[in-house]
Amino acid sequence: MRFPGHNRRLNGFWWSRSNRTWRIFDPLNALTSLRYLAALLGSIACFVTGCFTPFNNATTWTASDGKPVDPFRMNQERATVFVFVRTDCPISNHYAPEVERLFSTYRSQGIAFWLVYADADTTGEDIMPAIHDPDLRLVKKAGVKVTPEVAVFLKSGREIYRGRVDDRYADLGKERPEASEHDLEDAIKAVLTGKPVEKRKRAVGCYIPQ
């Protein structure tokens, strides 16, 4: 039994029921079609399983030493922390000691850190590796809105945390004597121990014009 419209092969020819004609069977064309089909199926499977990541591309940023870098291609660590800052933002400046402490504590444990200057003209004394993002490409990729705000990406390129460093600032103008929740450090510890990470915590700071 054949399905309606099924083509039938006879002595090197194919009978096409759709237009009732004989066509020459070309093995080379058939093999080429199978290769295209295999490539298409492979691409679909790759997309579904996540082997394409949004950051594995040739995009680069300028490091503080003037050289082009792609921190996602360089990422051989367990996770990468991007700390978005502006030197003219008082809240960003207040967090410099805490960010430097985290950098010093976890850089030897497989956690990479980058300061990201979210404007064109910012320069400063870098306490860790730094890149400039004048056109806000990295800001938009990470989804950050203010400075200081952090984004943590796994080696695969997947963002697992975005938000505040800690809860020291309840709101603009409302600063606690000290933080009681250390969200960035908790996210880093979760990566190191293989535990789930709470993905979002609202950051308080200076808005990034976009």
Quick one: 18 and 96 in the same domain?
Answer: no
Mean pLDDT rounded to a whole number for the chain: 76
Number of residues that this document lists for the chain = 210
Residue 3, in any domain of the structure: no
Q: pLDDT per residue over 51-65, tens digit each?
A: 333 433 447 888 877
Residue-level pLDDT at 104: 95
Residue 13, in any domain of the structure: yes
Tokens linked to 205:
């700071």
Quick one: 156 and 124 in the same domain?
Answer: yes
Spatial CA neighbour of 120 closest among 129, 131, 111:
131
Quick one: 97 and 186 in the same domain?
Answer: yes
Q: How many beta carbons lie within 10 A of that of residue 166, not counting itself?
A: 18
Record the pTM: 0.69
Half-sphere exposure (Cβ direction) of 116: Cα atoms closer than 13 Å: 33
